[in-house]
Amino acid sequence: MSESPAQLSALEAARRIADGRLTSEELVQACLQRIRQVEPAVQAWQFLDEEHALGQARAADERRRSGEPVGALNGIPVGIKDIIDTADMPTENGTVLHKGRTPRKDAAVVASLRAAGAVILGKTVTTECAYFTPGKTRNPHNPEHTPGGSSSGSAAAVAAQMVPLALGSQTAGSVIRPGAFCGDYAFKPTHGLIPRTGVLQLSRTLDHIGLFARSIDDLALLAEELTGYDDGDPDTRPLARIPFSSLSNEEPPIPPTIAFIKTPHWERVDADAKEAYGELLEALGDRIEEVELFPSASEAWDWQRTIMEAEMAANLEPLWLAGRERLSERLRSLMERGRETRAIDYQRVLRRVPAVVESFDELFMERYDAILTPPALGTAPKGLGATGDPVFCVLWTLLGMPAVTLPLMQGANGLPLGVQLVGRRNFDARLLRTARWLERKVAA
């Protein structure tokens, strides 16, 4: 049985399109056919216009045939989380209060994708305002289980081979957790590395853009096109283009040494996940060492909650004023708590974060290439009323450190069991290089 183009990695599809062995129209047609097959069960898409997608694909093919320079993603379809603005498609932020909202301009990341030649295939389902109330999406491996959230549709669409690449966002655990639950490769870069201009703002301190793919190569390909400065995001800065693809493919000069950090929440991890991690540690031998979390970070989970609630309450106040009764009870409760947060408490926790970041910088400089820790308590929980606990992502999001999850293991129920690697801030390509080393080590 011949391989469908929808099964190709983004990198391989880009090579075939560049060589003339595949057209973007053929690739997008294959993705749309796959969507027709599995979308009724998975329900990953919030907005999809087949003709508009095919029109973009034909334009990409014409660019290649004309001989004009084309970008690294020319003709490659990408799914966009429905909190990221697209000028030619609705962006409804997962709330009825924004039903039919169509922005006037693209988010910075969407503009970068278009400049690289990508086809914006459609908008993927988000939880309500990228918080905890689930949308309609189901886990593609078992529709009775959650796909995770809040980037539910992006994670599920990539895992179900509907699209090779997708964008999400993370304020607590909304990229790494659904990536792990759905069996994707998912990457949350250093805070401020990818601009968030034109994305629903929940928390300037915590919000990150995240990437979903089916290989490390594809994560690197996508990250290379999205990182950079945008004057609409005050946390970005001018920097040279990061050659993610070449750096992540380099052999480490010496085998990496990895720190295994359980965090205070290890006892809550599922039994089969603990057993799987025990086997992984045994396989890594002297390349991994258990390290206790710094006492200074022990309250970080409470700090993250304080920051998130206060900043979300402020940023989502227009929704609160326009129709709080139409928001979910979960979101209303968060906003009520945030509106009661004292300024002194908010400022106090903000001031504590840099010292913890410095402690981790010292850990990396002294000995370790990456930190290994679970991305979640186990495999995707059964049921669709919740999206799972982000507790194993919260710390790294708060500290703005890059993180990646790899689908290296399997739970007792047969669902994917991810492995999270965390790196030093601003050493994102090195983290992907270590992730590739880990993947090869496990496969050996």
Q: Tell me whether residue 151 is one of the annotated catalytic residues.
A: no
Joined tokens for residue 280: 């992984």
CA pair distance 45, 163, nearest whole angstrom = 11
Q: 47 and 17 in contact (C-beta within 8 Å)?
A: no
What are the backbone dihedrals phi and psi of residue 410, each rounded to the nearest 5 degrees, phi first? -140, 140
Task: Report residue 432 CA to chain centroid gap.
Answer: 14
Using the predicted structure, report yes or no on whether residue 29 has a pLDDT greater than 60. yes
Q: Which helix (H) or strand (E) holds 268?
A: none
Tell me the one-letter amino acid at 154.
Answer: S
- pLDDT range class, residue 327, cuts 50, 70, 90: very high
DSSP code for 293: P
Tell me the one-letter amino acid at 263.
Answer: T
3-state secondary structure at position 407: strand
Q: Which helix (H) or strand (E) holds 380?
A: none
* pTM assigned to the model: 0.98
Q: What is the mean pLDDT of residues 406-433?
A: 98
Using the predicted structure, report yes or no on whether residue 38 has a pLDDT greater than 80. yes
Q: Tell me whether residue 81 is one of the annotated catalytic residues.
A: yes
Q: 160 and 34 in contact (C-beta within 8 Å)?
A: yes
- pLDDT range class, residue 1, cuts 50, 70, 90: very low
Bridge partners, 371 (sequence order) = 259, 422
Other C-beta atoms within 10 Å of 246: how many? 11
Q: What is the mean pLDDT of residues 276-305?
A: 97
Q: CA 102, 222, 439: angle at the middle one, nearest 5?
A: 135
Q: Tell me whether residue 174 is one of the annotated catalytic residues.
A: yes
E strands, 55-113, in order: 77-81
Classify strands 185-188 and 403-410 as parallel, antiparallel or unpaired.
antiparallel
Other C-beta atoms within 10 Å of 50: how many? 15
Of 371, 428, 408, nearest in space to 223 by CA: 428
CA pair distance 285, 353, nearest whole angstrom = 33
Using the predicted structure, report yes or no on whether residue 211 has a pLDDT greater than 50. yes
Q: Which of 112, 169, 174, 245 is catalytic?
A: 174
- pLDDT range class, residue 141, cuts 50, 70, 90: very high
Q: What is the mean pLDDT of residues 211-233?
A: 98
Gyration radius of the chain over CA positions: 21
Instruction: Give the mean pLDDT of the chain.
Output: 97
Q: 126 and 135 in contact (C-beta within 8 Å)?
A: yes
Q: Which helix (H) or strand (E) holds 11?
A: helix 10-19
Q: Which of 150, 151, 169, 245 is catalytic?
A: 150
Domain covering 5-248, topology: Amidase signature (AS) enzymes (3.90.1300)
Q: What is the mean pLDDT of residues 8-32?
A: 98
Using the predicted structure, report yes or no on whether residue 100 has a pLDDT greater than 70. yes
Q: Cis link prior to 150 (omega < 30° from 0)? A: yes
Using the predicted structure, report yes or no on whether residue 2 has a pLDDT greater than 90. no
Using the predicted structure, report yes or no on whether residue 422 has a pLDDT greater than 60. yes
What pLDDT is attached to residue 444? 85
Q: What is the mean pLDDT of residues 14-24?
A: 97
Q: Which of 81, 203, 215, 245 is catalytic?
A: 81
Q: CA 48, 200, 131: angle at the middle one, nearest 5?
A: 90
- pLDDT range class, residue 3, cuts 50, 70, 90: confident
Give the C-alpha distances (Å, rounded to integers) separating 171 from 177, 206, 358. Answer: 11, 5, 21
Per domain, the residue ranges of the chain are: 5-248
Classify strands 258-260 and 370-373 as parallel, antiparallel or unpaired.
parallel
Q: What is the mean pLDDT of residues 13-35?
A: 98
Q: What is the mean pLDDT of residues 123-147?
A: 98
